[in-house]
Structure formats: C-alpha cells, structure tokens
C-alpha cells in the first residue's frame, strides 16, 4: 500500500466565491483550503494562503463567527507581459462558526510560508471533563 | 533572419491579439462569476502547482502558488527553454489525538515542466520562495532578447 505522503498532489482550483461578502474593492474572492481539528483543550486551524503577508491578514472572532480575510497584492511589475496565466490573486475570505467557547485572549496566529496556523484555546468551562462514577 | 531576431520566439506567444485575448478572458471570467462558475479551470493545465509566466525584455518570470513547503523540498531545473519544478509537500502529522472537522489541504509530491517561448541562461536562474509563492527569474539568452535595429539611410 502506498504511504499517504507519496501520493501526487492534485491541482485544486481555488474556490471562487460568488461575492458573498460585499466588496469595496474589485477583484475575485477565493476560499482558502483549510484543515480544522480539535482536541480536548483547543481547536486548531490551518489555512493555505499563498502570497499573503502577515500585515494583510485579518482574523476576526465575534459572536462565535471566525472570519479570515486577506488581500493579496500582485507581484508583477508594470512592464511585464503575461505569457501563461493560471492563477489570479485576489482576496481570500472564509468564515466559520465555532461551537465551543473560545478564550479570545489566548488566540495564537502564525503565518509561515503562506500557511496560517491558528490556535484557538477553549475556555476552561468548555473543556470536556471526565466524570467518575462513585459507587455508593 | 532579421525577423527571427526581432521575434525569436514562436509567433503564437507574441501574438498581436494577446491583449484582446486577455480582455476576452477577463470578460469570460466576469460572465462566469455571474453564472457562478469557476473560470480558472478552463485556462489552467490542471497540474499542481498553478503557475503564472510573464516576460519583459531581459527575463522570464515564473511564479507558482505552493504554500507550506520548505525550500529544501523544492527542486528546480532549467535547460534551454524548459523549466521543471518538483517537490513534496508534507503536512506534519498531529501526534496527539485530534478529531478533524475539515481536511482540505492536499499533501504529496508534484512535478511540473513548462516550456518558455525562448531559451534561458540556466546558470543565472534565480529562485526565491516567500509567503508560499515560488518566484523564478530566468534571464533570457542573448539570442532570445528583443533587439532594436537602427535603420540606416
């Protein structure tokens, strides 16, 4: 059986969002691919955001809705002419509703090589607890 | 011969309708966005990573979207007018017990070759990887550069 890591990557199309958030800037909006996983004390989110600089990334959490939005500035200089055009740069946008209560003060976000890692620690009271049944 | 020097590349690339073509694409994209289709699918070769190739008088520029790869896992080679990019994207395993809500990010190997419209100087190719974008600057070979020809009278 092939190991998971030796598989070939399939090219995925950037999900094009037909203007769910209203825009003030023209340009396409893309949905980044994400991994979300959870353990007992936190929820972690990984998002592919190629071309995004830390200063252009906005993470917003209010009323249990987590919003990621990022603006990508195109790196081309003016005197270049395009020969092949396969991806467009635009805005990345995605929203999530979080069911758990998140400790807003301890959210940690790191952006490395175009991948965002967001750690959302759960509040103490939202953590699952082991309940021991006492024998009377 | 003179013509070949002015347009050293294949004529398809130096198409005088390139701008019109671009306009057409933009318009199609606009229509598709309204209709809710994803238009990038039609243009791309369907191979990871998606690439944009551009040129100016001196260089070709290849840019590819490859988020989350360490530079040591990327290998790039250039020969005459072909550039190959290959590598491996590894998503580190979570060692603790976690349960997934979403798993959309792909991992695995990739390899892609593009043919440029002119030859490049392979030993002066520069590659930079930052913020998930791989950017190659490929200097054009002398004979692939456009030339100004002075008219004598």
Residue A127 CA: distances (Å) to CA of A38, A44, A100: 11, 15, 9
> Which pLDDT tens digit goes with each residue over B38-85?
544 445 566 788 888 888 888 889 999 888 888 888 899 888 888 999
Task: Give the chain A residue nearest B42 (alpha carbons).
Answer: A86
Q: Could you tell me the two tokens for B13?
A: 């690339």
Verify that B77 and B96 share a domain, yes or no: yes
Q: What is the mean pLDDT of residues B20-36?
A: 71
**pLDDT at site A116:** 92
pTM of the prediction? Answer: 0.69
Q: Could you tell me if B32 and B70 lie in one domain?
A: no
Residue A95, classed as helix, strand or coil, is strand
Check: CB of residue B128 under 8 Å from CB of residue A113: no
Domains of chain A: 26-74+82-125 (2.60.40.790)
Residue A95 has pLDDT above 70, yes or no: yes
> What would the two tokens of residue B5 be?
């020097």
Quick count: other Cβ atoms within 10 Å of Cβ B145? 14
**Segment 14-53 of chain B within 8 Å of chain A by CB:** 18, 22, 25, 29, 33-34, 36, 38-41, 43-53
Number of domains in chain B: 2
Q: Check whether residue B101 and residue B117 sit in a common domain.
A: yes
Sign of the CA dihedral with A76 first, then A78, A79, and A83 last? positive
Q: Which tokens belong to A111?
A: 């952006």
Residue B19 has pLDDT above 80, yes or no: no
Which of A38-52, B36-50, B127-141 has the lowest average pLDDT? Answer: B36-50
Residues B128, B149, single domain; the answer is yes
Mutation target among B41, B68, B95, B110 for the A interface, most CBs of A within 10 A: B68
Band of residue A17 on the pLDDT scale cut at 50, 70, 90: low
What residue numbers bound the domain in which B57 lies? 48-153
**Least CB–CB distance from B132: residue in A14, A51, A76:** A51
Cα–Cα dist B135/B148, whole Å: 29
In this structure, are B10 and B80 located in the same domain?
Answer: no
Residue B89 maps to which CATH number?
2.60.40.790
The DSSP-derived string for B44-59 is S-S-SSPEEEEE-SSE
Together in a domain, B55 and B95: yes
In this prediction, residue A117 carries a pLDDT of 92
Q: Per residue in B78-121, pLDDT tens?
A: 888 889 999 888 888 777 788 888 888 888 888 989 888 888 88
B118/B120 Cα distance (integer angstroms) = 7
Contact status of B11 with chain A (Cβ, < 8 Å): no
* Same domain membership, residue B128 and residue B89: yes
Main-chain dihedrals φ then ψ at residue B36, nearest 5 degrees: 85, 20
My answer on whether B25 and B11 are in the same domain is yes
B72 touches chain A (CB under 8 A): no
Answer yes or no: do B25 and B71 share one domain. Answer: no
């Amino acid at each position: 059986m092939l190991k998971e890591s030796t598989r070939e990557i399939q090219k995925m199309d950037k999900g094009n969002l037909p203007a769910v958030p209203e825009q003030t800037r023209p340009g396409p909006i893309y949905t980044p691919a994400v991994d979300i996983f959870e353990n007992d004390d936190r929820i972690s989110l990984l998002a592919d955001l190629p071309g995004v600089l830390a200063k252009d990334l906005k993470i917003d959490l209010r009323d249990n809705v987590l919003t990621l939005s990022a603006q990508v500035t195109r790196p081309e200089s003016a005197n270049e002419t395009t020969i092949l055009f396969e991806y467009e740069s635009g805005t990345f946008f995605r929203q999530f509703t979080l069911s758990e209560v998140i400790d807003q003060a301890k959210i940690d976000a790191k952006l490395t090589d175009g991948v965002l890692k967001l750690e959302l620690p759960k509040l103490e009271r939202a953590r699952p607890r082991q309940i021991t049944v006492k024998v009377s | 011969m003179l013509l070949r020097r002015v347009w050293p590349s294949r004529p398809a690339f130096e198409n005088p309708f390139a701008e019109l073509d671009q306009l057409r694409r933009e318009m199609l994209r606009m229509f598709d966005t309204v209709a809710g289709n994803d238009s990038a699918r039609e243009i791309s070769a369907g191979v990871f990573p998606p690439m944009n190739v551009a040129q100016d008088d001196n260089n070709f520029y290849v840019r590819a979207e490859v988020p989350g790869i360490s530079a040591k896992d990327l290998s790039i080679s250039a020969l005459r007018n072909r550039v190959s990019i290959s590598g491996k994207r590894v998503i580190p395993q979570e060692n603790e017990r976690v349960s997934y809500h979403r798993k959309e990010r792909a991992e695995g190997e990739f390899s892609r070759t593009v043919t440029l419209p002119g030859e490049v100087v392979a030993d002066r190719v520069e590659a930079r990887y930052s913020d998930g974008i791989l950017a190659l600057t490929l200097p054009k070979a002398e004979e692939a550069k456009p030339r100004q020809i002075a008219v004598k009278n």
